[in-house]
Amino acid sequence: LEVQLRRFRQREMLRIVWRDLGGLASLDETLEDLSELADVCIRQALECLYGWATAKSGVPRTADGTAQQLIVLGMGKLGARELNLSSDIDLIFCFAEHGRTDGERPLENEQFFTRVGRQLINVLSRQTAEGFVFRVDMRLRPFGEVGPLVVTYDAMENYYHSQARDWERYAMVKARAITGDRDEIEALTGMLRAFVYRRYIDFGVIESIRDMKRMIERELHK
């Protein structure tokens, strides 16, 4: 899988760069193509890893027996489909509900998805003789580097509505689900929309944006 993904990435990067340098694609088209390349690599890698993991441990299910997928959220440039040639990919991993796999040796869903998530990061970012696919940055997840690698929807909702900082709300504007079925994605995006777009006017946000602008300006002048 690692070799196949890296060779596919090399071929596609060559095609994208060739079209860009030859004037055959606009900047927007190039950024879109790079983002789509990352999406395809993530989906293909996760499909293989999920299949191998379920063959070993069973399918992760909710209390009512519904099968669950790992939802991968693209953030930042990837989420906005603005990935460039040197970009890392910012990701968040989540799943719908707690539960267990249905195999002979069941795992808690959180344990199952944490294993799959770690494998996905390694498959994409590990440096090999063939290079890497994409560097993965997970720091935008709830609680950042000290937080769990994967979280449930309920845990995300609790975090974002009670502990998230203002910049996390702004970052979530660009969030985009890359994997998952329609129902799971709709439930997640509905929850995130309520966090990002409040029903009331928050004048504190205006001052927060001003503070962030001043901070960026200070960094630029260093």
Band the pLDDT of 203: cuts 50, 70, 90: low
Residue 181 contacts residue 69 (beta carbons within 8 Å) = yes
Per DSSP, what are the bridge partners of residue 74?
A: 91, 176
Distances (CA, A) of 184 to 50, 135, 196: 16, 26, 18
Interval 62-76 mean pLDDT: 92
pLDDT tens track for 100-152: 999 888 899 999 999 999 999 999 999 998 899 999 999 999 988 899 999 99
- In the predicted structure, residue 45 carries a pLDDT above the cut 90: yes
- In the predicted structure, residue 181 carries a pLDDT above the cut 90: no
Range of the domain at 54: 2-220
pTM, whole model, 2 decimals? 0.86
Average pLDDT, the chain: 89
Band the pLDDT of 209: cuts 50, 70, 90: low
CATH number of domain containing 89: 3.30.460.10
Integer Cα distance of 13 and 34 in angstroms: 8
Integer Cα distance of 76 and 175 in angstroms: 7
Integer Cα distance of 120 and 53 in angstroms: 12
**How many structural domains comprise the chain?**
1
